[in-house]
Amino acid sequence: MKPPQFHGGLDPLKVEAWVLGIEKLFDVFPCLETQKVLLATFTLEDEVRRWWKLMRENHKDIDWIRFLEIFYDKYFSQCVCSRKVSEFMELKPNNMSVAEYEAKFTELDRFIPHMVDTNYKKARHFEGGLRDDILDKVNVLKLETYIDVLDRAIIS
**The predicted structure's pLDDT at residue 107:** 87
| Residue 82: per-residue pLDDT | 86
How many angstroms separate the CA atoms of 26 and 30, rounded?
Answer: 5
| Residue 131, number of CB atoms within 10 A of its CB | 16
Q: What is the pLDDT of residues 88-134, one digit of tens each?
A: 999 998 889 999 999 999 989 888 888 898 999 999 999 999 999 99
Catalogue the E-assigned strands of 36-148.
Answer: none
pLDDT digits (tens, 9 = 90+) for 30-62: 899 999 999 999 999 999 999 999 999 999 889
Q: Where are the domains of the chain?
A: 12-76, 82-155
Cα–Cα distance for residue pair 127/139, rounded to 1 Å: 7
- What is the sign of the dihedral through the CA atoms of 27, 32, 33 and 37? negative
Return the ∠ at Cα 146 (arms to 144 and 152), rounded to 5°: 85
